[in-house]
């Protein structure tokens, strides 16, 4: 049975690869793509999304969303993805154009039309938080909310405590995590170490010699340099494609458990940090001031702790080989 996906993205180089994976998935219909400022300013992210959709020969509607976080100035990741977000490769202007409607309208209307759809977020959660402010019943219409964000341990790629997507707009992140979505958290750490694409694997993908294979590697040219400076990991980390792989095939997440989780939004030291109640203590009376009335609630954030790396890479490589 065909599954309906709605993807929210701050389209830079790893987002673009994740979009290709969804657009090429045989049993998935991407009903809409909503764009949020994050890696790059909104206009550039919209352009990158349109370029990627066009490269796949599709005509999926792309809706512009928030130009900045709810209550903070935007801090982008051009240092990582390049000024254009796609490795400064000078890709041409897409001929496709964005929809005139706002991303929030698209999120609310699409979930009305396709209740139970899978919502995959690849960027800051500003659009989702704005949609929740408009319609608090949104979580009831979302079958799965798969968030690329956070880390399920205290490490960060933008601060020592936080991952970029949840750090950019921590107020929005808190709003979304406090809402009772059926949330699946795919943390940045899952894209590291053996999940990175080695240089041999990147050369293998280039040798597929398909337009999508060349694009997927070339547009990550600055990201691979930045990634190795940042982590020293052996190759290119692709957090959004990891999250998309879990969205496309839930079995790729090999270890998951459900917990209460909250986002820090007040302290600059831990801004955007995901605090996961692994031992189930948030319901204790001494935690009520912070964690509220979660004591009698079943936790709703499902944390992915491990992925099947070979299965992730097979899905990615098959997509690009056939592209
Ligand atoms: O921290 C990695 C995340 O931030 C990825 O989604 C990347 O595209 C950026 O949005
Ligand atoms: Ca992203």
Instruction: Encode pLDDT of 135-178 as tens digits.
Output: 999 999 999 999 999 877 678 899 999 999 999 999 999 999 99
Q: Which atom of ligand 1 is nearest to the CA of 15?
A: 8
Pick the ligand that lies closest to the CA of residue 186: 1
Q: Which atom of ligand 1 is nearest to the CA of 123?
A: 10
Q: Which atom of ligand 1 is nearest to the CA of 77?
A: 9
- pLDDT tens digits for 275-290? 999 988 888 887 888 8
What is the C-alpha radius of gyration for the chain, rounded to an integer number of angstroms?
18
**Token match 């692994």: residue?**
278
**Which pLDDT score, from 0 to 100, does residue 153 have?**
66
Asked whether 107 and 121 are in contact (CB, 8 A), the reply is no
Question: Strand runs (DSSP E) across the chain, as ranges?
Answer: 3-9, 28-35, 62-64, 117-121, 142-148, 183-186, 253-259, 261-263, 274-276, 301-307
Report DSSP state, residue 2: P
Letter string b/e over residues 51-86, b meaning 16 or more CB atoms within 10 A of that residue's CB: bbbebbeeebbbbbbbebbbeeebebbbebbbebbb
Pick the ligand that lies closest to the CA of residue 8: 2
Q: How close is the Cα of 28 to the center of ligand 1, in Å?
A: 23
Q: 194: which 2 tokens?
A: 């053996």
Q: How close is the Cα of 284 to the center of ligand 1, in Å?
A: 34
Please state the φ and ψ torsions of residue 61, each to the nearest 5 degrees.
Answer: -65, 135
Q: How close is the Cα of 259 to the center of ligand 2, in Å?
A: 24
| 250 Ramachandran zone, left/alpha/beta (phi>0; psi -120 to 50) | alpha
**Which pLDDT score, from 0 to 100, does residue 321 have?**
96
- pLDDT tens digits for 206-240? 999 999 999 999 999 999 999 988 998 889 999 99
For the chain, domains (ranges, CATH) are 3-321 (3.90.245.10)
Ligand 1, pocket-test mutation among 122, 159, 167, most atoms within 8 A of CB: 122
On the question of pLDDT at 255 being above 90, the answer is yes
- pTM over 0.75, yes/no: yes
Q: How close is the Cα of 123 to the center of ligand 1, in Å?
A: 6
Q: How close is the Cα of 165 to the center of ligand 1, in Å?
A: 6
**Token match 């706002």: residue?**
102
């Amino acid at each position: 049975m065909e599954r309906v996906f709605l993807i929210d993205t701050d389209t830079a180089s790893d987002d673009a690869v994740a979009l290709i994976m969804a657009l090429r998935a045989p049993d998935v219909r991407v009903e809409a793509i909503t764009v949020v400022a994050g890696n790059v300013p909104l206009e550039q992210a919209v352009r990158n999304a349109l370029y990627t959709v066009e490269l796949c020969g599709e005509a999926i509607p792309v809706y512009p969303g928030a130009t900045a976080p709810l209550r903070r100035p935007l801090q982008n990741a051009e240092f990582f993805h390049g000024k254009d977000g796609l490795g400064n490769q000078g890709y041409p202007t897409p001929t496709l154009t964005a929809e005139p409607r706002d991303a929030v309208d698209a999120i609310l209307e699409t979930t009305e039309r396709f209740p139970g759809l899978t919502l995959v977020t690849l960027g800051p959660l500003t659009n989702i938080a704005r949609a929740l402010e408009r319609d608090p019943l949104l979580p009831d219409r979302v079958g799965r909310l798969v968030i690329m964000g956070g880390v399920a341990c205290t490490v960060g790629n933008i601060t020592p405590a936080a991952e970029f997507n949840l750090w950019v707009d921590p107020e929005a992140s808190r709003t979304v995590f406090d809402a009772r979505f059926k949330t699946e958290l795919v943390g940045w750490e899952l894209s590291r170490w053996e999940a990175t694409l080695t240089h041999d694997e990147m050369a293998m993908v280039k040798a597929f010699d398909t337009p999508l294979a060349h694009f997927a590697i070339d547009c990550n040219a600055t990201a691979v340099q930045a990634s190795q400076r940042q982590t020293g990991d052996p190759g290119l980390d692709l957090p959004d494609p990891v999250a998309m792989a879990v969205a496309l095939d839930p079995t790729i997440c090999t270890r998951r458990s459900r917990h209460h989780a909250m986002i820090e939004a007040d302290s600059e030291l831990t801004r955007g940090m995901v605090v996961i109640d692994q031992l189930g203590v948030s319901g204790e009376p001494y935690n009520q001031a912070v964690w509220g009335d979660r004591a009698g609630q079943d936790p709703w954030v499902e944390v992915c702790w491990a992925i099947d790396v070979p299965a992730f890479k097979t899905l990615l490589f098959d997509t690009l080989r056939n592209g």
